[in-house]
């Protein structure tokens, strides 16, 4: 069990550019979640996968955001045409079907949009 891994840890980009983040969940965890956290706030739910199926998306996930989990393993979160308001920590978490109540979070990707 190597934990949830996120890459990159930090990303600085200019407004209008596209960015993509990757999340590798704990192996054999069938559920994967994306959250966003801004300074001083708790994490906000963005979306959730069960295996490769994206089962729920928050209203926070605008059309510029897309997430995939093509083979039910790793996941990517892409933000197109970034805006300064997208600056935040993007957190990934995974959970096992045996213990859905226990989410394991990665250390996140800190995005700064200039």
Partner 1 sequence: DAKTTQPNSMESNEEEPVHLPCNHSTISGTDYIHWYRQLPSQGPEYVIHGLTSNVNNRMASLAIAEDRKSSTLILHRATLRDAAVYYCILGVISGNTGKLIFGQGTTLQVKP
For tokens 């510029």, name the residue. Answer: 64
Q: Is 74 in the site for partner 1 (CB under 8 A)?
A: no
Those residues whose C-beta lies under 8 Å from the C-beta of residue 33, and which sit 6 or more positions away, are 45, 46, 47, 48, 49, 92, 93, 94, 95, 103
Residues near partner 1 (CB under 8 A), total:
24
Q: Is 44 in the site for partner 1 (CB under 8 A)?
A: yes
Q: Is 56 in the site for partner 1 (CB under 8 A)?
A: yes
How many angstroms from the chain centroid is the CA of residue 46? Answer: 8
Q: Is 105 in the site for partner 1 (CB under 8 A)?
A: yes
Q: Which residues bind partner 1 (CB under 8 A)?
A: 4, 31, 33, 40-45, 48, 55-56, 91, 93, 95, 100-108
């Amino acid at each position: 069990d190597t934990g949830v891994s996120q890459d990159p840890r930090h990303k600085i980009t200019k407004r209008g550019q596209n960015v993509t983040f990757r999340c590798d969940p704990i192996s054999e965890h069938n559920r994967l979640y994306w959250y966003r956290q801004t300074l001083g706030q708790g994490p906000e739910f963005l979306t959730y996968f069960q295996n490769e199926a994206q089962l729920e998306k928050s209203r926070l996930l605008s059309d510029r955001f897309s997430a995939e989990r093509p083979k039910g393993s790793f996941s990517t979160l892409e933000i197109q045409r970034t805006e300064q308001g997208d600056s935040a920590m993007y957190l990934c978490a995974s959970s096992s079907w045996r213990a859905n109540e226990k989410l394991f979070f990665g250390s996140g990707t800190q995005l700064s949009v200039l």
